Amino acid sequence: MIYFENPGAFFLILVIPFFYVLKHLGLFAKLSFPLTISDWNGKSFVYKDLFLNIANIISELLSIAAFIFAVIALANPIIRSQEKIYTSRGTDILFVLDTSPSMACRDISLINGNITRLEAAKMGIKTLISSEKGASYALVAMASEAACIVPPTNDIDFFEKQLESITIGNFGEGTAIGLGLTTAIYHLAASKAPKKCIVLITDGENNAGSIHPETAAMLANENDISLYALGIGTKGSVPVEYIDPKTGKIHSGFYESDFNTAPLEEIASIASGKYFGIESLSALSSSLTEISHREDSFQTFHYRSSDKNYYSVFLMISVIIFVSLWIVRRLFLSEVL
């Protein structure tokens, strides 16, 4: 919200029409004696060159603009913003993101074409964390191996930067769902948050790692951690292309997409969660929103106001315009100011 500490300064703008009225009446004309012999009532001076006429008009507009910006500066404009400051902890939401090669399948529709499953997952996550404030977010990347990329944090900028850095193939070519979930549980078990949940986004079945997904789901339930499983991708033959981060080789072709959703439904049920089938970006967004609402927790907060003064900004603009006015009149109109 913008307001002015000295709004009375705006009355100075009335000087502009008053000045032009007085100028029209000739009160600002220099004392001179006409020397035109042939016609004492001749026309007043005008520039014959079109360019000079335009330059003269521009100089008039610049003088008005410079004065207006100077008046705004005198009015001391201030923009006041309010920030919600949470005084209690919210929900911890940890995303376990599959980064196996099949996540490079381009079968998630967007306006300008199809995007990969991993790109869609990133977009959905970023949309959620930008709209839902107060929660803490964490991220585990998973394939045949798993690692915690971001522990629970309120730093959304840092989270988004780390999320964007995740690429296909950095953690192997398998899908170790049990290992990914166990890594997530390890980073959430000791949390003092009122609610804790894991959001698994994958497009396949568990085929790597030494920990069974159901074992990990039971461990999550024992630690009061809800588990939501999102099976992303369409069925059938879908195009896939990705660059192997180890060799730099481009892999492309078609992938037969068809995985059994029953294991994902089972682990979600064990850990008091829910399974979502995701075949579009809108379905992903609505699913994440539903999860956020289900896991929402009451938080206390207060508003903190901050003011930013723009006096110097408008004053600087006024000075720049005055300098431009001087250049136009001195260099183009050859006036002595």
Whichever domain contains 113, its CATH number is: 3.40.50.410
Contact (CB, 8 A) for 4 and 76: yes
| β-strands 92-98, 136-142 pairing | parallel
Q: What is the pLDDT of residue 306?
A: 80
Any domain includes 39: no
Cβ 184 vs Cβ 94: under 8 Å: yes
Number of alpha carbons in the 13 Å side-chain half-sphere of residue 293: 6
φ, ψ dihedrals at 21, nearest 5°: -65, -45
Tokens of 263: 């294991």
- Residue 123 and residue 15 in one domain: no
Q: Looking at the 3D structure of the chain, how many domains does it have?
A: 2
Say if residue 72 is in the same domain as residue 23. Answer: yes
Q: Do 12 and 123 belong together in one domain?
A: no
Spatial separation of the C-alpha atoms in residues 156 and 147, rounded to whole Å: 19
> Stretch 271-275: mean pLDDT, rounded?
93
| Residues 157, 262 within the same domain | yes
User: How large is the average pLDDT for residues 248-265?
Assistant: 85
pLDDT tops 70 at residue 45: no
Residue 43 lies in a domain: no
Residue 300 lies in a domain: no
332: helix, coil or strand?
A: helix
Residues 158 and 22 in one domain: no
Task: Kindly state whether residues 215 and 163 are assigned to the same domain.
Answer: yes
Question: How far is residue 8's CA from residue 6's CA, in Å, rounded to a whole number?
Answer: 5
pLDDT at 217 over 50: yes
The pLDDT value recorded for residue 43 is 55
Same domain, 156 and 189: yes
Q: Say if 301 falls within a structural domain.
A: no
For residue 32, give the nearest of 22, 45, 21, 20 by alpha carbon: 45
> What integer pLDDT is reported at residue 336 of this predicted model?
47
pTM for this entry: 0.67
Residues 167 and 250 grouped into a single domain: yes
Contact yes or no for 315/323 (Cβ under 8 A): no
Q: Note whether 111 and 231 are same-domain residues.
A: yes
Whether residue 70 is predicted with pLDDT greater than 70 in this model: the reply is yes
Which range has the worst mean pLDDT, 15-29, 106-120, 144-158, 217-231?
15-29
Q: pLDDT tens-digit profile of 319-332?
A: 999 888 888 777 76
Average pLDDT, the chain: 84
Provide the pLDDT for residue 49.
64
CB contact at 8 A, 208 and 174: yes
- Residue 148 pairs in a beta bridge with 140
- What's residue 30's pLDDT? 54
Listed residue (179, 175, 199) closest to 96, CA to CA:
199
The answer to whether position 40 is within a domain reads no
**54 and 171, same domain (yes or no):** no
Q: What is the CA radius of gyration of the chain?
A: 33
Q: Domain range holding 314?
A: 2-28+48-80+310-332
Residues 265 and 129 in one domain: yes
CA gap 139, 148 in Å, rounded: 6
Query: Can you read off the two tokens belonging to residue 126?
Result: 């970023």
- The mean pLDDT value for 308-316 works out to 90
Q: Is 272 left (phi over 0), alpha (psi -120 to 50) or beta?
A: left
Convert the pLDDT of each residue in 171-202 to its tens digit: 988 899 999 999 999 999 988 888 999 999 99
pLDDT given for residue 166 in this prediction: 93
Residue 299 forms part of a structural domain: no
Give the confidence band of 243 by pLDDT, cuts at 50, 70, 90: confident
pLDDT exceeds 70 at position 13? yes
Determine the average pLDDT of the residues in 15-19: 77
Mean pLDDT in residue range 244-258: 82
Q: What pLDDT band is residue 37 in, cutting at 50, 70 and 90?
A: very low
Say whether pLDDT at 40 is over 60. no
54, 124: one domain:
no
Q: Quick check: is 254 in a domain?
A: yes
Q: Is residue 41 part of a domain?
A: no
